[in-house]
């Protein structure tokens, strides 16, 4: 969860899908990941990460 918060707070929204997919895949160097760094077969993880970060943005946006 801490990695998702770091991505949310420091990354650009357009990076969420790819960097979040890397987080879910277990890559601890995910923040700053690019489209090229992620393989095409990770699209399900990317979809899940994007949905999760959008929901977290709603939650954290209400708190901050």
pLDDT digits (tens, 9 = 90+) for 11-26: 888 898 989 988 888 8
Distance CA 24, CA 61 (A): 22
pLDDT of 63 > 50? The answer is yes
| 24 in Cβ contact with 45 (< 8 Å) | yes
Residue with tokens 């901050």: 64
Band of the pLDDT at 28, cuts 50, 70, 90? very low
E-assigned strand segments in 1-64: none
Please report, for the chain, the start and end positions of each structural domain, with discontinuous segments joined by +. 2-59
């Amino acid at each position: 969860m801490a990695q998702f918060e770091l991505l949310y707070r420091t990354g650009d929204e357009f990076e969420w899908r790819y960097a979040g997919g890397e987080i879910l895949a277990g890559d601890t160097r995910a923040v700053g990941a690019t489209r090229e760094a992620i393989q095409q077969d990770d699209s399900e993880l990317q979809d899940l990460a994007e949905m999760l970060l959008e929901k977290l943005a709603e939650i954290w946006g209400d708190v901050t």
